[in-house]
Amino acid sequence: MEHHDPHVDSHGDGHHDDHHDQGFWEKYVFSTDHKIIGLQYMFTGMAMAIIGGFFSYVFRMQLAFPGIDVPGFGMVSPGEYNALVTNHGTIMIFWVAMPVLIAAFGNFLIPLMIGCDDMVFPRINRLSYQVFLLSALVLIFSFFVDGGAFGGAWTAYPPLSAKAQYNLTAAGSSLWLVAVALEFVAFLLGGINFITTLMNSRAPGMRWHDIPLVLWMIVIASILFMVSVGPLIAGAAMLFMDQNIGTGFFDPNRGGDPILWQHLFWFFGHPEVYVVLLPAMGIVAEVLCINARKKMFGYKLVLYSVIATGVLSFFVWAHHQFTAGIDPRMANIFTVTTLLISIPIAELCFLYVATLYGGSIRFTTPMLWSLAFVVEFLIGGVTGIYLGASGMDIYFHDSYFVLAHFHYTFYPIAIIGVFAGVTHWFPKMFGRLMSEFWGKVHFWGTIIPFNIIFIPLFFLGMAGQHRRIYIFEHVAGLAQPHLQDLRVLATAALVVMLLFQAVFLINLFTSMFRGAKAGKNPWRASTLEWTTPSPPPHGNFGGNFPTVYRGPYEYSHPDHDEDFWPQDEPPAA
Amino acid sequence: MAFVPIANTRSAAGMPTGRLAVWWVIASEIVIFGGLLAAYLIHRLGHPEWANYAVHTNTMAGAVNTFVLLTSSLSAVLAHKAAEEGNGKKAAWLLVATTVGAGMFLLIKSFEWTYEITHGYTIQTNGFWAFYYTAAGLHALHVIAGAIIMLVIAADAYKGKYLHRVELIGVYWHFVDLVWIFLFPLLYIAK
Give A10's contacts (C-beta < 8 A, 6+ positions apart). Answer: A4
Residue A17 has pLDDT above 80, yes or no: no
Asked whether residue A539 is domain-assigned, the answer is: no
Angstrom distance (rounded) from CA A86 to CA A152: 6
Asked whether residue B154 is domain-assigned, the answer is: yes
Chain B residues in contact with A247 by the CB 8 A cut-off are: 123-124, 130, 134
Angstrom distance (rounded) from CA A180 to CA A197: 26
Does A535 sit behind a cis peptide bond, omega within 30 degrees of 0 on the bond before it? Answer: yes
> What values do phi and psi take at B67, rounded to 5?
-60, -45
Angstrom distance (rounded) from CA A425 to CA A416: 14
Asked whether residue B172 is domain-assigned, the answer is: yes
Instruction: Give the residue numbers spanning the domain of A193.
Output: 29-531
Distance from CA of B144 to the nearest CA of A (A): 18
Query: Which residue of A246, A267, A545 is in closest CB contact with B6?
Result: A545
Q: What is the pLDDT of residue A255?
A: 86
Asked whether residue A552 is domain-assigned, the answer is: no
Asked whether residue A197 is domain-assigned, the answer is: yes
Dump pLDDT digits (tens) for A451-483. Answer: 999 999 999 999 999 999 999 999 889 999 999
Asked whether residue B33 is domain-assigned, the answer is: no
Asked whether residue B115 is domain-assigned, the answer is: yes
Chain B residues in contact with A256 by the CB 8 A cut-off are: 43, 127, 130
The one-letter amino acid code at A553 reads Y
Chain B residues in contact with A13 by the CB 8 A cut-off are: 1-4
This model of the complex carries an ipTM of: 0.94
Asked whether residue B167 is domain-assigned, the answer is: yes
Local confidence band at A16 (pLDDT 50, 70, 90 cut-offs): very low
Query: Which residue of A17, A230, A260 is in closest CB contact with B32?
Result: A230
Query: Are A261 and A163 in contact, with CB atoms under 8 Å apart?
Result: no
> What values do phi and psi take at A157, rounded to 5?
-65, 135
Local confidence band at A13 (pLDDT 50, 70, 90 cut-offs): very low
Give A240's contacts (C-beta < 8 A, 6+ positions apart). Answer: A174, A177, A178, A181
Query: Are B12 and B6 in contact, with CB atoms under 8 Å apart?
Result: no
DSSP character string of A379-427: HHHHHHHHHHSHHHHHHHTTBHHHHHHHHHHHHIIIIIHHHHHHHHHHH
- The string over B151-175, giving b where at least 16 C-beta atoms fall within 10 Å of a residue's C-beta and e elsewhere, is bebbebbbebebbbbbbbbbbbbeb
Angstrom distance (rounded) from CA B53 to CA A512: 65
Asked whether residue A146 is domain-assigned, the answer is: yes
DSSP state of A326: -
Asked whether residue A307 is domain-assigned, the answer is: yes
Dump pLDDT digits (tens) for A70-113. Answer: 999 999 999 999 999 999 999 999 999 999 999 999 999 999 99
Query: Which residue of A119, A237, A238 is in closest CB contact with B7?
Result: A119
CATH at B65: 1.20.120.80
Asked whether residue A524 is domain-assigned, the answer is: yes
Q: What is the pLDDT of residue A287?
A: 98
Q: How many domains does chain B have?
A: 1
Asked whether residue A440 is domain-assigned, the answer is: yes
Residue B68 has pLDDT above 80, yes or no: yes
Q: What is the pLDDT of residue A10?
A: 38
How many CA atoms within 13 Å lie on the side-chain side of B98? Answer: 35
Q: Which of A2, A3, A199 to probe the B interface (max B CBs under 10 A)?
A: A199
Q: pLDDT: is A4 or A66 the higher one?
A: A66
Dump pLDDT digits (tens) for A170-219. Answer: 999 999 999 999 999 999 999 999 999 999 999 999 999 999 999 999 99
CATH at A497: 1.20.210.10
Instruction: Give the residue numbers spanning the domain of B159.
Output: 38-43+50-189
Q: How many domains does chain A have?
A: 1
Helix (H) or strand (E) holding B186: none
Local confidence band at A254 (pLDDT 50, 70, 90 cut-offs): confident
The one-letter amino acid code at A53 reads G
Q: How far is CA A72 from CA A61, A76, A89, in A?
A: 11, 11, 20
Is some CB atom of chain A closer than 8 A to the CB atom of B55? Answer: no
Residue A18 has pLDDT above 60, yes or no: no
CB contact under 8 A, A228 and B31: yes
Asked whether residue B118 is domain-assigned, the answer is: yes
Is some CB atom of chain A closer than 8 A to the CB atom of B41? Answer: no
Is some CB atom of chain B closer than 8 A to the CB atom of A269? Answer: no
Chain A residues in contact with B134 by the CB 8 A cut-off are: 237-238, 241, 247
